[in-house]
Amino acid sequence: MQNIAVFTSGGDAPGMNAAIRAVVRTALHYNIGVKGIVNGYDGLINGDIIDMDSRSVANIIQRGGTILKTSRSEEFRTAEGRAKAGRMVKEHNIEGLVAIGGDGTFTGAEIFCRETGITVMGVPGTIDNDLYGTDYTIGFDTAINTAIDAIDKIRDTADSHNRVFLVEVMGRHAGFIALEVGIGGGAEAILIPEEETKIEDLINFFSKEKRKQKSFSIIVVAEGDDAGGAFDIAKKMKAAIPGFDPRVSVLGHIQRGGKPSAYDRLLGSRLGSGAVVELLEGETNKMVGIVSNELVLTSFAEAIGKSKQVDRSLLKLASILA
Ligand code: F6P
């Protein structure tokens, strides 16, 4: 292998830059040329491809976002788009691709590998932590720390006004962020998509006399919760509980930005470097991950097909501690 290329795709995640840096510098260490694809799959389709050297990844390890930009490509979902991308790979003499992203990225990569025979290695980068085959994804640790920071601030105002706050965190399909943020943020209730939310139970709980003696509360809601978003839930509770006047705070994209934590820098560095080594070993159509502190490979099919389970004992812990 003489030449590889790296790109980021899907939602950006803090630590992606550390992974890009590790890909570039590991490739150069093994005397492999390395290119960067700008804008994810869209950049691959349009030939937005740049040469990279050691200096092009200098001073980025501490930066959030992704220096290579990212996209959620509609065109790559089409066979024509993928064929165009395949032609670009050949035109630029790229023999291996490192794809940094989440389940959407690997769904595309899996089809692309099968259709074109092009070699692809995945690096899990998403704040959602919802990929099978790795204990943690790049960006999750920073995102939960950002959210906890925000909740600490919300607690000050909640305490001052004796208010209940519903704080909505990211996670369309998964409650990993909500669960860990809820426990770390001292939430009284945590609502996640994996567990049916019974609004009646919530209403009963917050109607209790004993509960009313508490000055304030935080309820953490994953954006993909089955009972709706934080605004919907707050509305239903307000209508059912006399005198209940909660406030809602949607943390949104703040959770995706900011400088990566030490953990995400380390994870990005290990996984980015590991991906290059595995490509050189001839591996393809797989994702690198870290399970119990060991670098492991999981096929794209498994990484996207199997679902990583939230640790339900944490839900129990949250209710004990509430
Ligand atoms: O997958 C990461 C994520 O931040 C999800 O938690 C969230 O639901 C989604 O991306 C938002 O995507 P976008 O930035 O495209 O609106």
pLDDT per residue as tens digits for the range 91-100 = 999 999 999 9
Q: Which residue out of 42, 103, 128, 264 is catalytically annotated?
A: 128
Q: Which of 132, 129, 156 is nearest to 143 (CA)?
A: 129
Any ligand 1 atom below 6 A from CB of 14: no
Any ligand 1 atom below 6 A from CB of 251: no
How sure is the predictor about 311, in pLDDT bands with cuts at 50, 70 and 90? very high
Whole-number pLDDT of residue 286 = 98
Query: Rounded CA gap, 262 and 290, in Å?
Result: 16
Whole-number pLDDT of residue 186 = 96
Q: How far is the CA of 95 from the centre of ligand 1 (A)?
A: 30
Which two three-digit tokens encode residue 288?
């690198």
Give me the helices (H) in 36-131, please: 40-46, 79-91, 103-116
Instruction: Give me the percent of the chain exceeding a pLDDT of 70.
Output: 98
Query: Rounded CA gap, 165 and 129, in Å?
Result: 25
Q: How far is the CA of 11 from the centre of ligand 1 (A)?
A: 6
Residue 210 scores a pLDDT above 70: no
Query: Rounded CA gap, 318 and 179, in Å?
Result: 8
In sequence order, what are the beta bridge partners of 101? 124
Any ligand 1 atom below 6 A from CB of 172: yes
Output DSSP code: residue 213.
Answer: T
Closest atom of ligand 1 to 224 CA is 8
Closest atom of ligand 1 to 72 CA is 15
* Whole-structure pTM value: 0.97
Whole-number pLDDT of residue 212 = 67
Q: Is 128 a catalytic residue?
A: yes
What domains sit in the chain, N to C, each tagged with a CATH number? 3-139+260-305 (3.40.50.450), 141-256 (3.40.50.460)
Q: How far is the CA of 105 from the centre of ligand 1 (A)?
A: 13
Which two three-digit tokens encode residue 276?
């290059």
**Closest protein CA for atom 2 of ligand 1:** 11
Instruction: Give me the percent of the chain exceeding a pLDDT of 90.
Output: 95
Residue 215 scores a pLDDT above 90: no
Summarised one tens digit per residue, pLDDT across range 217-272 is 999 999 999 999 999 999 999 999 999 999 999 999 999 999 999 999 999 999 99
What sign does the dihedral 297-68-6-40 (CA atoms) show? positive
**Closest protein CA for atom 13 of ligand 1:** 11
Residues with Cβ within 8 Å of residue 140, at least 6 apart in sequence: 13, 126, 127, 128, 129, 176, 177, 264
